[in-house]
Every structure is written in C-alpha cells, then in structure tokens.
Amino acid sequence: MRHLMNPLDFTVEELDSLFDLANDIEHNMPRYAHACAGKKLATCFYEPSTRTRLSFEAAMLNLGGSVLGFADADSSSAAKGESVADTIRIISCYADICAMRHPKEGAPLVAAEKSRIPVINAGDGGHQHPTQTLTDMLTIRTLKGRLDHLTIGLCGDLKFGRTVHSLINALSRYEGMRFIFISPDELRIPDYITEMLKEKGIPYEEVIRLEDKMPQLDILYMTRVQKERFFNEEDYIRLKDFYILDKKKMKLAPADMLVLHPLPRVNEISVDVDDDPRAVYFQQAQYGVYVRMALILTLLNIHVG
Ligand code: NCD
C-alpha cells in the first residue's frame, strides 16, 4: 500500500506516468466515469479549504466513486480530543482512500503509519502540499510542454507558503532549472531550501523587486501572504499588499511566460490580469481535478483498459 506525503515519494518516471494518465483523463473523461464504482474517498480536513477538498471530491465523483468526510476539525471528534492516529483507524473501516489536511506539520504522516488505506497529504501546516504540486507540475508540463530548462520566479510569502516549498522540492530533480525567489525580507525562503539547492548545484537568486526579474521568467508563481501562519496582525497588514501583479507589470513579461497561483487569491493579482492569455491560474484549478483523478486511480491500483 502506498501513501502520498511528499512529491518526492514518486520517482520522476512515476510522475511522468501519472501526468500521462491525467492528460488521457482530460481528453477521454467518459472512459473513466465508472473506474471507482463502489469505492469511497474520505476527506478529513482539519483546516479550511475550498479547492483542495472539493477538487478531491469532484475527482472521486468523476470516477464514479462516493465521498464522505468532514470539512472542519470542530465538527469532528478532534474537538473531543481524539488523536489523528485513532481517527484514521476508524476512517480505515469506512473508506478506501483518505485525503487529509492538518495545521500540524507531519500529522498526515502519523496517520499514514496507522492507516489500513492509502493516505494523501492534502497540506500539512507550512510544510508540504504534494497534490497542489502535482497540479502545478501538470499545468506547466501541459502548457509549456516540459518540466526542465525553466526559469521559475516564485513571488510572495515564500516563508510560510507550503505550496512553494513542495514545488521547489519537486522541480529540483529536473535538469536546467533556475529559481528566482521574490519576497520581502521577512518572508524569505527558508534556509533548508536554499541549502538543498546549493548542495545540488541548482542556481537561484533572492530579490525583493518583481519588476526587475519579470523579463527573464518562463513561469511566475504568485502566492498569497499566509495570514493564518502569522504571529501578529500588524506584520500581516504591513506585508499583505507588498506585491500586486497588474497589467502594467505584465507588459514587462515575455509573451510566453505563464502566471500560476495555487489560489485563493487575495490582492496579489489584480483582476485585470485575468483576461491575459498568460494568466493560467483558473485552468490550473481544472488540471487539479485531472491529476487528483490520476492519483486516486494510481494509489488504488485501478487500471482502465
Ligand atoms: C494553498 C494552500 O492551502 O496551501 N491553497 C490550495 O490548496 N490551493 C495556497 C494558499 O492557501 O495560499
């Protein structure tokens, strides 16, 4: 039995097969409509979510399966003091696969160790968010045609943004990558990530101004300032509108640069950018459904002939 805790749990070859499957699903949806008939997905969400939870549920429903779960810790027995380890033992009696989001880093891993069904980490604190990373990678691979030889600018809250940490981790295995980290000083990328890049000899830069780097980018990955992980409100208010990508700044970008965002967006991308063909963040959310369908099939070991 296999779980997904970290994007590195899959080899590059396994990821390629997963993305091929996701692309096949994209073009042949009806063929997959009953692939998970009789199977159940549990979504255990101890932290707010719109996209991740609903895209998991949509993915399972598209596959002909059913879904059950809870969307907030207060409505589960966690409010009575039940441990994640006990909860997953129970969920293992009710469902065939589980997606879990938790504010504590490592909680889905604790669950996986006690589980009798595959567990997918749907975001653990500021740590990892592997299915968002799979979504981001499928979007880049499909729309850019490759996952190597890319200059990627990551902009915003690089300190607390788990999607950023997961994505860099995953992309660091591909050839010819170059990272540009764009953030205010207070929200810099953690040292453990720059250490990893140095060790692997992957070039990166850290800058504050977005405008200067725009012309060099193949991908611009915008992120929201992670309000819920701040220790005080004042710092959040000071930093929340540090970057606002607008039409004027988009003029500095190459014609084929793609703008990604894991969403939800707050103010960091002005709505007037939405109509720009380079803005692919809503398409990205659609790819999130295809890749989660592919992931559910893979972890349940279901093959559609
Ligand atoms: C992200 C998350 O939860 O980390 N959202 C998502 O799953 N698409 C990004 C965010 O909340 O900023």
The per-residue pLDDT string of the chain (305 residues; one tens digit each, 9 = 90 and over) reads 999 999 999 999 999 999 999 999 999 999 999 999 999 999 999 998 888 999 999 999 999 999 999 998 887 888 788 899 999 999 999 999 999 999 999 999 999 999 999 999 999 998 899 999 999 999 999 999 999 999 999 999 999 999 999 999 999 999 999 999 999 999 999 999 999 999 999 999 999 999 999 999 999 999 999 998 888 899 999 999 999 999 999 999 999 999 999 999 999 999 999 999 999 999 999 999 999 999 999 999 999 98
Sign of the four-CA dihedral 197, 265, 156, 256: positive
Q: Is 11 a catalytic residue?
A: no
Out of 49, 157, 165, mutate this one to test ligand 1's pocket (max ligand atoms within 8 Å of CB): namely 49
Classify 229 as helix, strand or coil: helix
274/222 Cα distance (integer angstroms): 13
pLDDT given for residue 126 in this prediction = 87
Return the pLDDT at 78: 82
* Cα 48 to averaged position of ligand 1 atoms, centre (Å): 9
To test the ligand 1 pocket, which listed residue (45, 100, 129, 155) has its Cβ within 8 A of the most ligand atoms? 129
User: Which tokens in the block code for residue 218?
Assistant: 């193949």
What is the structure's pLDDT at 231?
A: 82
Q: Fill in the amino acid letter for 39.
A: K
Q: Which of 101, 128, 132, 227 to mutate to test the pocket of ligand 1 (most atoms within 8 A of CB)?
A: 132
> By the 8 A CB rule, do 98 and 119 touch?
yes
Question: Among residues 295, 301, 304, which one has the least CA distance to residue 4?
Answer: 295
Residues lining ligand 1, CB < 6 A? 51-52, 123, 129, 132, 162-163, 224, 262-264
149 alpha-carbon distance from chain centroid: 21
pLDDT reported for residue 81? 84
Return the domain boundaries, the chain. 7-128+288-299, 131-285
Cα 33 to averaged position of ligand 1 atoms, centre (Å): 28
Predicted pLDDT of residue 93? 98
Active-site residue, selected from the candidate residues 39, 101, 162, 261:
101
pLDDT at residue 80, as a whole number: 83
Q: What predicted TM-score, i.e. pTM, was given to this entire model? A: 0.96
* Res 174: pLDDT: 98
Catalytic residue status for 213: no
Q: Which two tokens stand for residue 212?
A: 């200067």
Reported CATH class of domain 7-128+288-299: alpha beta
Cβ atoms of 119 and 144 closer than 8 Å: no
| Cβ-contact 118, 95 below 8 angstroms | no
- What is the number of the ligand 1 atom nearest to the C-alpha of 122? 7
Q: Find the 185 Cα to ligand 1 centroid distance in Å.
A: 22
How far is the C-alpha of 302 from the C-alpha of 28, rounded, in Å?
A: 16
Q: In this structure, are residues 107 and 123 in contact, taking their beta carbons and an 8 Å threshold?
A: no
| Structure tokens that stand for 62 in this block | 């598209």
CA of 264 to the centre of ligand 1 (A): 6
User: Cβ neighbours of residue 163 under 8 Å, at least 6 residues apart?
Assistant: 129, 132, 133, 136, 223, 262
Active site residue 53: no
Q: Which CATH architecture has domain 131-285?
A: 3-Layer(aba) Sandwich (3.40)
Nearest to 158, CA basis, from 45, 273, 287, 268? 268
C-alpha of residue 238 to centroid of ligand 1, in Å: 21
Token pair of 157 as six digits: 């809250």
Give, in order, the Cα–Cα distances in Å from 161 to each of 119, 126, 284.
22, 6, 18
Same fold, 7-128+288-299 and 131-285: yes
133 is catalytic: no
Is 43 known to be catalytic?
Answer: no
Instruction: Determine the length of the chain.
Output: 305
Do β-strands 97-102 and 151-155 pair in parallel, antiparallel, or remain unpaired? Answer: unpaired
